[in-house]
Amino acid sequence: MKIKDYDIKNKNIILTGATGKLGLEYVKFLSLCGAKTICIDINKDKLEDLKKKFKDTVKTYQVDITNKNLLLEVSKDLKKNKIEIDGLINNAAGKQTTIIDGILTNFENYPLDSWKEELDIDLTGTFLCCQVFCKNFNTDKMSSIINISSTYGLVAADQRIYGESGLNSSAAYAATKSGIIGLTKYLASYWQGKKIKVNVIAPAGVYNNQDPEFVKKYIEKTMLKRMANPDDLFGAIRYLLSSYSDFMTGSTITVDGGWTSW
């Protein structure tokens, strides 16, 4: 029996939203695994910090992922530098809060601009990155696209756990995260027979200094009685980037402590 390669060393991985809370953790993890990370984000200062910290293991681009022309420039530069891409992690996401201009806003009054902005970043941005960077994949071997959804792409946000905290996830977030799962299935089907696998990770809420009362209510809905830590997602990411998942496409890996299994 031949043991497949679980190693992702020296693989070139594009990561969007690289300077966010989870993005930074993914960069650390990929670097520890010996992967080369092409970091895409809109935050110039934080990208500079990444370059200083990780040096040879990262390459950075300041890009708004909703701008196709800018993404095409990145694609062109990667080709110019003969960097073939092995994986794409669509991690970038907009704000999901319902606090608008400091005011807790209900669904009936949720601004159309906020709805459009979140759809543009989460869903259209994912669409554009898949459309553009698929042309940078090495067609001689399997490449992997990992789209980041959420448990709220599978089930509704339970309004009872939020109360008046203002942390309630928006309708736009639910629509985009559901849409990402649908887009993933479409792309898996579209690229059938090609050496591109497209899968989704749907994480639960991650600890982020939330209000203790909210955390208490949230963990009561999980079977493992806690929220997620960033490293809870590392195994799924490494699996989907490795050859062990080469017979897996169009699928969703749910990492939620049992939230959606009740």
Q: CA-to-CA distance for 145 and 153, rounded, in angstroms?
A: 18
Task: Indicate whether 118 belongs to any domain.
Answer: yes
Q: Three-state secondary structure along 202-237?
A: EECCECCCCCHHHHHHHHCCCCCCCCECHHHHHHHH
Task: Indicate whether 198 belongs to any domain.
Answer: yes
Q: CA-to-CA distance for 74 and 160, rounded, in angstroms?
A: 43
Identify the CATH number of the domain in which residue 94 sits.
3.40.50.720
Pairing of strands 103-104, 99-100: antiparallel
Listed residue (237, 233, 98) closest to 157, CA to CA = 98
Task: Indicate whether 160 belongs to any domain.
Answer: yes
Task: Indicate whether 153 belongs to any domain.
Answer: yes
Strands annotated E in the chain:
12-16, 36-41, 58-62, 87-90, 99-100, 103-104, 143-148, 196-203, 252-255
Question: Tell me, what's the pLDDT at 181?
Answer: 98
Task: Indicate whether 6 belongs to any domain.
Answer: no
Token pair of 37, please?
Answer: 């990370």
What does each of the 262 residues of the chain score in pLDDT, given as a tens digit? 455 566 899 999 999 999 999 999 999 999 999 999 999 999 999 999 999 999 889 999 999 999 999 999 999 999 999 999 999 999 999 876 666 666 667 788 888 988 999 999 999 999 999 999 999 998 889 999 999 999 999 999 888 888 766 567 888 999 999 999 999 999 999 999 999 999 999 999 999 988 898 899 999 999 999 999 999 999 999 999 999 999 999 999 999 999 999 9
Report the chain's C-alpha Rg in angstroms: 18
Question: Tell me, what's the pLDDT at 105?
Answer: 76
Question: Tell me, what's the pLDDT at 223?
Answer: 97
- Total domain count for the chain? 1
Question: Tell me, what's the pLDDT at 104?
Answer: 67
**φ/ψ (deg, to 5) at 82:** 55, 45
Task: Indicate whether 192 belongs to any domain.
Answer: yes
pTM metric for this prediction: 0.94
Give the SS3 label for residue 88.
strand
Domain with 83, as residue range(s), is 12-261
Task: Indicate whether 2 belongs to any domain.
Answer: no
Task: Indicate whether 40 belongs to any domain.
Answer: yes
Question: Tell me, what's the pLDDT at 10?
Answer: 92
